[in-house]
Structure 1
Amino acid sequence: MNTGMRGASERGYLNLPWGQVHFRRAGDPAGVPLVVLHQSPLSSATYEPALAAIAAYGVHVVALDTPGFGMSDAPARQWSVPDYAAAVWSAVDALGLGRVHLLGQHTGAVVAAEAALAARDRVSGLIFQGLPLYGEAERAEKKASYAPGYEPASDGGHLRTIWERVHRLYPRISAESASRQVAEYLSAGPDYAVAYRAVFDHRLDTSALAGIPALLLHGDEDVVNRMNDTVLAALPGTPLVVIAGGTDFVAEEQPEVFAKAVAEEVLRHGAAGPRPGFTPVYTATVEVRGGRGGGARSRTGPLELALTRPGDRRPGDTGTDPEELFAAGYGACFDSALAVAARRERIVTGPVTVTVSVTLGTVPGGSYAIAAGLEVAAPECRQADLERLVGIADGLCPYSNAVRGNADVTIDVRGGA
């Protein structure tokens, strides 16, 4: 296991107004983008062992060193959480990522949440690997005493101070991981608490996060695991996934388990909207004359059919309508995406049927919209396995990605016992 400051991932620097920002990344740049924000006072090296595993699912994962930590330059003044959040978007812009999923741990989770509130149209979802929501008393106590600085000593006594702090916080971690953390503390400098102070001073508006897909994911021995009830009450309906036997460093302890949970969530919600690096695979061109009561003729294939308004349909009418055509396309693509997911997961589904209903309706203001309902049935596949595959397929399917955020879509999953 490599928990060092370097690792095998591609690494680089971004030149931003306050200095350089170090990042590491893995995966195809055309994949669904995920930006990872670490806890303080550590660095993106925390995630190094899991990056390749996450990328293997088709995710383009970028882990940033927060300004002032790891190998990123520090700002010239004390930053607030909104300052750190703005820096995230500066880095995303410099990387050309467009719309992204954000994963943040502890301090990074607060920054990720604030970044989402600052630019929610640029966020496809959030993963909180421990979200610290402190009460006022604990906030004041921690601000006063949680992260005392250290003074470099000629006999190296400060190294013992840091080592003891790390092991007091995380008594179960390996000597390798603890050694790396000592290096990260030294990199941050004697006053390593600048990001902590920003968090202790910040009041996160959790109610404003409503409507942004989110997942709570951490090890069952994470120091913030104790806050689950508080966080679930603040983010009602948000699913919680706890990885058994995992500490704060579950990404390096159980990289495959962690990567699978992260990738499933990212692919489930995709990154709706144009993506950098879009590569055309196939273009279909259909000419329509006469609107809903006319006809459609393909210029790229043999399709030629009459269109009929649903209200005008009579027995024996051979015409179709746009909703039926959309349902057919959605069902075919989703079924294919499910097959891709099954191959990746090495799960045998048996026969699969995808039934799609597309509804045309009106919305306030006199305009029209559609809603879709999918029923995915695979009676020979275990329900839990099928639900996992459907979540992955929903992130892969081009129709799901096209309508995400624009149409109400429900998916009914019907597996076997």
Structure 2
Amino acid sequence: MRTRGGYVDSEWGQVHFRTAGDTGPWIGLFHESPLSSQVYEQVLPLLAGQARVVAFDTPGYGASDAPPRAGFEIPDYARVLARAAAAIGMENAVFGGVHTGASIAIEMAHAFDRGVAGLVLSGVALFSDEERARYIAAWTPEVPFDAEGAQFAWAVERYRRIWPGLSPQMLQVGVVEVMRVAARYDWGYQAAFRHDPAAPLAAVAAPVLLLDAELDLLADKDPVALALARDARLVTLPGLRGQPHLRAPHDYARELLAFALDPGAAHDTDGGDA
């Protein structure tokens, strides 16, 4: 099914999104920093036959306009995106996200006032104080920039290091997306590192599906998230080193769609962990 693109106005300028599907439950997806809705390009058509899915570019990334300055927090991003989702007509939605996108999805449960049916979270950044300080200090070094192309070599090295075993297609996505926002690639990252999702996750009344890659960088946080959420279930996609939406889009879409079609029923099943 064809994926369409669009824009909606916000207080920070235009928010870009990709969408597919005309009937069924609403699904809103949020990407990891510093990428874009491009990461869901394979997932959207797999959902579109039975759902109306919208993948957003976080403000400042992809084709969305940037916040007016650095320093905004994850609830600020969620507030802007909640208004964008409402302007599109979304209601009673399932919101999902990966890493930074998972933090945004959690805050969407509190910012979106047109009904939240559930959350699908991949990699919840439930850091200790020490971990948080380390990520804030070290994860977003300044991008080198010169006429010899040091910035491109930096981006290639970075994604080969932080995405072990990536495919050529994944490398292309990572490098292109970080280069297009190189001057502000750290904005969303730093907001996510400053954000503590523990209390807002614990306060979510809707069902939660933790849908993660077995070897994800944040997979060790899944038991913590499972204990915090009021009504949660964990599904682990075995053998994946991260990025379930990119490495295993069919498996990711299958679990996401099953949950979106009946969030309550998904939590009544036995087992669920793969």
Please, what TM-score do these two structures have when normalized by structure 1?
A: 0.61
2:31 is equivalent to residue 38 of structure 1: yes
Contact map agreement 1:9 1:51 (CA 8 A) in 2: yes
Q: Secondary structure at the match of 1:190?
A: helix
Which of 77, 91, 100 lines up with 1:98 in the alignment?
A: 91
Q: Secondary structure at the match of 2:232?
A: coil
Provide the residue aligned with 1:16 in structure 2.
Answer: 10
Residue 140 of structure 1 and its aligned partner are, at CA, apart by: 0.9
> What do the CA deviations read for 1:326-359 (whole angstroms, capped 9, x no partner)?
xxxxxxxxxxxxxxxxxxxxxxxxxxxxxxxxxx
Higher strand share: 1
2:103 is equivalent to residue 110 of structure 1: yes
2:225 is equivalent to residue 231 of structure 1: yes
Tell me, which stretches of 5 or more residues in structure 2 are unaligned?
A: none
Which of 201, 209, 233 lines up with 2:194 in the alignment?
A: 201
> What do the CA deviations read for 1:259-297 (whole angstroms, capped 9, x no partner)?
110000001138xxxxxxxxxxxxxxxxxxxxxxxxxxx
Structure 2 CA distance for aligned equivalents of residues 172 and 125 of structure 1: 31
Contact map agreement 2:109 2:204 (CA 8 A) in 1: no
2:140 is equivalent to residue 147 of structure 1: yes
Provide the residue aligned with 2:234 in structure 1.
Answer: 240
Contact map agreement 1:113 1:209 (CA 8 A) in 2: no
Provide the residue aligned with 1:67 in structure 2.
Answer: 59
Residue 97 of structure 1 and its aligned partner are, at CA, apart by: 1.3
Provide the residue aligned with 1:215 in structure 2.
Answer: 209
Q: Residues 96, 121 of structure 1: CA spacing in aligned structure 2 closer, same or farther, 3 A cutoff?
A: closer
> What do the CA deviations read for 1:24-79 (whole angstroms, capped 9, x no partner)?
11111x321000001101111111111111122x1111000000001111111121
Residue 83 of structure 1 and its aligned partner are, at CA, apart by: 0.7
Contact map agreement 2:144 2:151 (CA 8 A) in 1: yes
Q: Secondary structure at the match of 1:124?
A: strand
Residue 152 of structure 1 and its aligned partner are, at CA, apart by: 2.1
Residue 206 of structure 1 and its aligned partner are, at CA, apart by: 4.2
Q: Secondary structure at the match of 2:184?
A: coil
Which of 136, 150, 154 lines up with 1:157 in the alignment?
A: 150
- The one-letter code sitting in structure 2 at the alignment partner of 1:76 is P
Residue 91 of structure 1 and its aligned partner are, at CA, apart by: 1.0
Residue 211 of structure 1 and its aligned partner are, at CA, apart by: 2.5
- The one-letter code sitting in structure 2 at the alignment partner of 1:73 is D
Q: Residues 162, 105 of structure 1: CA spacing in aligned structure 2 closer, same or farther, 3 A cutoff?
A: same
Structure 1 CA distance for aligned equivalents of residues 235 and 10 of structure 2: 35
2:167 is equivalent to residue 167 of structure 1: no
Q: Residues 120, 66 of structure 1: CA spacing in aligned structure 2 closer, same or farther, 3 A cutoff?
A: same
Residue 251 of structure 1 and its aligned partner are, at CA, apart by: 1.7
What fraction of aligned residue pairs are identical, expressed as a percent? 34
Contact map agreement 1:149 1:191 (CA 8 A) in 2: no
Contact map agreement 2:206 2:231 (CA 8 A) in 1: no
Q: Secondary structure at the match of 1:245?
A: coil
Q: Secondary structure at the match of 1:247?
A: coil
Structure 1 CA distance for aligned equivalents of residues 268 and 149 of structure 2: 59
Contact map agreement 1:86 1:115 (CA 8 A) in 2: yes
Aligned length: 268
